[in-house]
Structure 1
Amino acid sequence: MNLREKLILVLKETHNQLKIVIINNLLECFDKNIFLPIQTISNNCFVSKSAISKFCNKLGFTGYRELVSRLKFERENYLNILDNKMEIKSYDDTKNYFINCISFFDNYKEKLLTIAELIKNDTYIVASNQLINQAKILYFYLNKKGYKVFFTEMLVANYNLDINLKNSTVLFLVGGMEVGGIFNVYHKIKYNNNIIFLTSTALSTRIDKCEVKIIFDLNNSSTSYYLRSVLVGYLIAQIINIVN
């Protein structure tokens, strides 16, 4: 469930007038693709900025800025889908695209086996907005299997790894925009830990030290969001299959 869907669900279930007015304003911002500063939102809702922040905290965000960043990200991909900016147009094109990708990913079999070994250490999963759902799936299964794995959906906390971390494995899933915080973490911890990257072609050039790097784009061009979600999900499924 994305954030917009979560807001709509809360709106349907709550009788709290404060939540109702805040959510209605946020959804209006989403629909118009105009995201207002916290002072303007608080004025529109006739509440204090601290009330807005508290509302965001209850949804699992560190504050209004993080919540708005997530909404902006969802809106960007929402528009891409509505505009039908697809790279493939037919049933057969889609089928052939995924067949080609899966065949290409066979080249990564040894790397996936290496990942399965590395995550036997204490493992920290760090994901960009675009791949956070795939990260949650991997975390869920590793945790269920008894692996010592750490992950949080709160994005700022997600990036707040101890820079003195040593002898652990850090698995980065990165794609899309808003990855500056992730790479700040990476550069601070890359020499004392095992580093794994599942990454796009564009972002792969920013990685200068790692134990494993898997690029999930089939070619040098960027993969659309909805295709990328499926491809990374397939790679995650293979990792889960190996650790089973």
Structure 2
Amino acid sequence: MISLIKSLKSYADLKNGSGLCLFSNYLLDQAISKKHYPSMKQTSIECHVSESSVTLFSKKLGFTGYRELISKLKFEITYFSVDEIDKEIKQGPKEKLEETVFSSYNNKLQDHIVKLKTQLSKISKLVDKFSKAKNIHLFSSYVLQKELNWLSNFFVIKKVRVIEQTNIFSDSFKLYELKENDLIILLIGDEKEVPFFQAILDTIPDQFKANLFIFSMSEMLSSNLANLYNLKTDSFINYGWKYHQLFEHSQSIFLKYLLDQLAYLVKWKNKQDEFEEIQQLKNAE
């Protein structure tokens, strides 16, 4: 497959004054030189063509429409420096740019998976707390409701009482029945819903913050909340990826990866505890 950048360059080099030539040249200049991705209307105006022509040009380049073309262009530009793009356009064979783009993308994806594994020590701490907890207070943003349901069902199977609350903006809201070993778990998946979680954090007494664990989509968000509420960094389990806009559903995929690790460690610890109990019974005989 020939890359979009390569295709645009081939039409721009025609220099025949055609609408497709102007369109290709304009998009390359905006994306590479200015890191700007113009709207359909803006492209139509600057290229002196109708919006329907912009759609036709996009289809000519192999896309269903202009929005899909811009998404692919953003994808390719993200993984190359300007110098690398220039070098590939001028010298690289047709297949090389596409292969390098996806190779770079895959490498970044693998790097993030490795980075996620550094969060396992925090999950191990959560598992240790879980073994003592009778109640777990679960909260989730709307976009992570599916993950919340999965986690809730898992905890119920493990015979732990799960308390989910949603109407936290009512005057009567409070973390009720909060006991010494209770766990509080927040799943944050949308910055727009941060006030929801801040309202929860405002209600947690200091003595219970050691049992608070926050799955956060952003290290910056974690840092801000840690400073604002005087929380330890161990309270935050970061799953977010800065390239998530280019990978649909990546946020929930990476969160699910960590939740799977949590489930595995809980099961493993339960087996270890059972084994130790059996050993103690044998030693007592």
TM-score of the two chains, using structure 1 as the length reference:
0.56
Cα gap change, 1:181/1:126 in structure 2, threshold over 3 Å: closer, same or farther?
A: same
**For 1:171, which of 162, 185, 195 is the aligned residue?**
185
Give 2:237's aligned residue.
214
For the aligned residue pairs, the C-alpha RMSD in angstroms reads 3.2
Cα gap change, 1:91/1:136 in structure 2, threshold over 3 Å: closer, same or farther?
A: farther
Instruction: Write the distance in 2 (CA, Å) between the matches of 1:100 and 1:180.
Output: 31
Please say which structure displays the higher CA radius of gyration.
2
Residues 182-221 of structure 1 aligned to structure 2 (within 5 Å): 182-193=197-208, 194-199=211-216, 200-204=218-222, 205-207=224-226, 208-210=230-232, 212-218=235-241, 221=242
Instruction: Write the distance in 1 (CA, Å) between the matches of 2:176 and 2:70.
Output: 42
1:203 is matched by which residue type in structure 2?
L
Q: Deviations over 1:28-82 (max 9, x none)?
A: xxxxxxxxxxxxxxxxxxxxxxxxxxxxxxxxxxxxxxxxxxxxxxxxxxxx999
Give 2:144's aligned residue.
131
Residues 112-127 of structure 1 aligned to structure 2 (within 5 Å): 112-120=123-131, 121=133, 122-127=135-140
| Partner SS, residue 231 of structure 2 | coil
Structure having the higher helix fraction is 2
Instruction: Write the distance in 1 (CA, Å) between the matches of 2:169 and 2:183.
Output: 15
* C-alpha deviation, 1:171, in angstroms: 0.6
Cα gap change, 1:184/1:128 in structure 2, threshold over 3 Å: closer, same or farther?
A: same
Q: Deviations over 1:157-208 (max 9, x none)?
A: 6994426734221011113112212211112214132110111224211233
| Partner SS, residue 184 of structure 2 | strand
* C-alpha deviation, 1:146, in angstroms: 1.4
* C-alpha deviation, 1:118, in angstroms: 1.6
Instruction: Write the distance in 2 (CA, Å) between the matches of 1:139 and 1:147.
Output: 9
2:187 is matched by which residue type in structure 1?
L
| Partner SS, residue 124 of structure 1 | strand
Cα gap change, 1:94/1:124 in structure 2, threshold over 3 Å: closer, same or farther?
A: farther
Q: Sequence identity, in percent?
A: 17
Contact persistence 1:198–1:214 (CA under 8 A): yes
Which structure is richer in relative contact order (CA contacts within 8 A, separation 6 or more)? 1
Give 1:234's aligned residue.
257
Give 1:180's aligned residue.
195
Instruction: Write the distance in 1 (CA, Å) between the matches of 2:256 and 2:129.
Output: 19
* C-alpha deviation, 1:96, in angstroms: 3.0
1:124 is matched by which residue type in structure 2?
H
1:174 is matched by which residue type in structure 2?
I
Contact persistence 1:201–1:217 (CA under 8 A): yes
Instruction: Write the distance in 1 (CA, Å) between the matches of 2:121 and 2:111.
Output: 19
Gaps of 5+ in 2: 1-66, 80-97, 268-285
Residues 1-150 of structure 1 aligned to structure 2 (within 5 Å): 84=71, 92-93=103-104, 95-120=106-131, 121=133, 122-150=135-163
* C-alpha deviation, 1:94, in angstroms: 5.0
TM-score of the two chains, using structure 2 as the length reference:
0.48
